[in-house]
Amino acid sequence: MDRFNIDTELESPLDHMEEEAPKPDPEEMLPLLASPAPQKRMLAARAFCELQDERAIPALINLLKDPCPLIRVSAAYALGRNPSPTAVEPLIEQLNQDWNGYVRKGVVWALGNSRDRRALAPLLNALKTDISAVRLWAASSLGQMAQVGYDCIIAAVPPLIEGLRRDPMPAVRSNCAWALGQLCRELPSNIVYANALDALIEAFAEDEDMGVREDAKSSVLRVGDTRGLQIIQELEQEGWL
């Protein structure tokens, strides 16, 4: 998921966390999740963005309602690293009520990682109605519905096609293309599959943004559809790009 790019002003403060620093000690971090000091709660929540420890989940759920938005977004990312069925409903509730776009962005990422069918409707709504930074991650999170069930895939494909065709943000369209590729790999050759593939080919041929065209092409290549591969080859031979 880290391959997706968005404009700097839409990025979360957690997007560029240090990767090479030694991991914190969970035994030290767990008590700090309930600290009265906001700085310590934030430190602990960020620690569990790297650590996986199911003991942290109840406290992280509580931190979704912390007064500080930076703590809330840290808790959301941490729950994405520590997915749990018990966190899905609290995440959905926070998505529906949090005023902060950074927090909602973290929540949709966590909901995608939950791979839970309860997340489908909130993610679809976020893709249609939220700000671009949230739509970006709602699209990629919907791609993870491929691992949930056929009914979720069928429900996710049409809104992703609409996002690929209509969203004003190229990065959102790119993520829609990626997600459609993920979902198509789990579909039989039916009308839903054909519509998704047609949308990817259309994006490759017609989208004004080079990055979107490349992501649409990559999705078709990953799916490995013979017809799609042939059309892309023909377009490239004609000097389409």
For 106-140, write each residue's pLDDT tens digit. 999 999 999 999 999 999 999 999 999 999 999 99
At 15, the pLDDT band (50, 70, 90 cuts) reads low
- Check whether 167 has a pLDDT greater than 90: yes
Q: How far apart are CA 197 and CA 225, in angstroms?
A: 8
For residue 31, being part of any structural domain is answered with: no
φ and ψ at 12, to 5 degrees? -85, 150
In the numeric block, the tokens 């240090």 are attached to 18
Q: Which two tokens stand for residue 96?
A: 């529906």
Going by C-alpha positions, the residue among 18, 20, 15, 19 that lies closest to residue 5 is 15
Percent of the chain with pLDDT over 90: 80
For residue 197, being part of any structural domain is answered with: yes
Domain hosting 79: range is 66-237
Q: Which tops the pLDDT comparison, 67 or 23?
A: 67
- Check whether 20 has a pLDDT greater than 60: no
For 195-205, write each residue's pLDDT tens digit. 999 999 999 98
For residue 28, being part of any structural domain is answered with: no
Number of domains in the chain: 1
CATH number at 146 reads 1.25.10.10
For residue 47, being part of any structural domain is answered with: no
For residue 170, being part of any structural domain is answered with: yes
Query: Given this model, what pLDDT does residue 4 score?
Result: 40
Provide Rg for the chain, Cα atoms: 19
Largest CA distance in the chain: 65
What is the average per-residue pLDDT within 167-182? 97
